[in-house]
Chains A and B, each alone.
Chain A
Amino acid sequence: DTEVTQTPKHLVMGMTNKKSLKCEQHMGHRAMYWYKQKAKKPPELMFVYSYEKLSINESVPSRFSPECPNSSLLNLHLHALQPEDSALYLCASSQVGFLEAFFGQGTRLTVV
């Protein structure tokens, strides 16, 4: 199984809502990533988990809160987002280190 599964595929939320994005992989990868991508731009790294511990936070606002409950799951909790946070959110996993990453299909988030 070489899939990274992200749910939901689409999400519309108001600025006062709380929602969560979920990501799951069963490849035994111990590094998991969240990226944010705006249209016609490259993915921007947000968070990296290595061995279930947060290893990199790229100065992401606190309204985004990551969580890695176990080695297969990665969540991104969203609260009080702004319209400019609307984007494609991508999850990826890999072996620890800069190696081939497997990406999910993303969650298209719209903040209204």
Chain B
Amino acid sequence: SQQGEEDPQALSIQEGENATMNCSYKTSINNLQWYRQNSGRGLVHLILIRSNEREKHSGRLRVTLDTSKKSSSLLITASRAADTASYFCATGNYGQNFVFGPGTRLSVLP
């Protein structure tokens, strides 16, 4: 099955700094999604980028997708303590069902 692989696995930054997380995957995709999970709670969908898109923005989030390298990055600008969470990428094709990469645990220090 397809699976995203994030790096780094853990990231600590100061409030106000930018955080960048990367995701690599193995097979062709229709789209790639990013999710956030606060400790021990459900996942929240952040952004979906389709395979024919290269970049997408949503508020302080910027996602890029490079299908030739089978990789994506999530940039969180001007981070806040409330951004502390685990971030997962998920990949899949229509008709199949998505699995999550191992995730990046982000800590934003005040």
Tell whether, in the assembled complex, residue A90 and residue B42 are in contact, meaning their CB atoms are under 8 Å apart: yes
CB within 8 Å: A-B pair count: 59
* B97 lies within 8 A of chain A by Cβ: yes
A97 to B97, alpha carbons, bound, how many Å?
7
Q: Which 7 A-B pairs have the closest CB atoms?
A: A98-B92, A103-B42, A42-B100, A103-B43, A97-B94, A105-B42, A100-B45
Query: What would 16 A/B residue contacts be, using CB atoms closer than 8 Å?
Result: A33-B97, A42-B88, A43-B43, A44-B99, A45-B98, A56-B97, A98-B93, A98-B95, A98-B96, A99-B48, A100-B33, A101-B33, A101-B45, A103-B35, A103-B42, A108-B40
Q: Mark A66-101, 1 if CB is under 8 A from B, else 0.
A: 000000000000000000000010101000011111
Q: Mark B87-109, 1 if CB is under 8 A from A, else 0.
A: 01000111111111111010000
Point out the residues of chain B lying under 8 angstroms from A55, CB to CB. 97
Point out the residues of chain A lying under 8 angstroms from B96, CB to CB. 98
Interface residue count on the B side (C-beta < 8 Å):
25
Q: Which of A1-58 contact B (CB under 8 A)?
A: 4, 31, 33, 40-45, 48, 55-56
Min CB distance B50 to A, Å, is 10
Q: Known: A98-B31, A98-B96. Is A88-B102 also a contact (CB below 8 A)?
A: no
Tell whether, in the assembled complex, residue A41 and residue B102 are in contact, meaning their CB atoms are under 8 Å apart: yes
A98 to B25, alpha carbons, bound, how many Å?
15
Tell whether, in the assembled complex, residue B97 and residue A48 are in contact, meaning their CB atoms are under 8 Å apart: yes
Point out the residues of chain B lying under 8 angstroms from A102, CB to CB. 45
Min CB distance B102 to A, Å, is 6
Point out the residues of chain A lying under 8 angstroms from B42, CB to CB. 4, 90, 103-106
Tell whether, in the assembled complex, residue A100 and residue B48 are in contact, meaning their CB atoms are under 8 Å apart: yes
Most buried by A among B93, B95, B96, B97: B97
